[in-house]
Amino acid sequence: MKVRDIMSTKLVTVNKELTIRQLIKVLQQNQVSGVPVVDSEGRLEGIVSEKDVIKAVAELIKVNLSIEEINRKVGKLNWVEGIMSKNVITVTEDTDAREVFKIMALKQIHRVPVVKNGILAGIVSASDAHRLIEKL
């Protein structure tokens, strides 16, 4: 079985200029815990999750930050670009499904973008694994 057989193609994506508040709305409205970050042409630029939002909030509310640190971090942490993961593990549609689930388990990640010629084509998430197990 290949990734193309299990991946989701109805994608929720965001761009890196989105504010954290807007990101939270997107996650809540779509009932997802993370989304790929793409440019205007659909090229994958990163991935952002609820975990990234939580880390940003934790940084913003630290009481022992100096004024300089706060000014530097606040701007960065208010935008998707400042909190997204940029070194994203990706697979192709031809990747074996077992391989993608092995990657997810070893790297402890919940979603792996599927790219074709640098363009986001789909995503494999923990939910896809659950659906696959239900079918077996």
C-alpha distances in Å from residue 75, one per residue of 56, 80, 82, 125? 11, 11, 8, 30
b/e sequence 41-69, b meaning 16+ C-beta within 10 Å = eeebbbbbbeebbeebeebeeeeeeeeee
Structural domains of the chain sorted by starting position, each given as residue range(s) with its CATH number in brackets? 3-135 (3.10.580.10)
Q: What is the pTM of this model?
A: 0.85
pLDDT tens digits, residue range 58-109?
Answer: 877 765 555 566 566 656 777 899 999 999 999 999 999 999 999 999 999 9
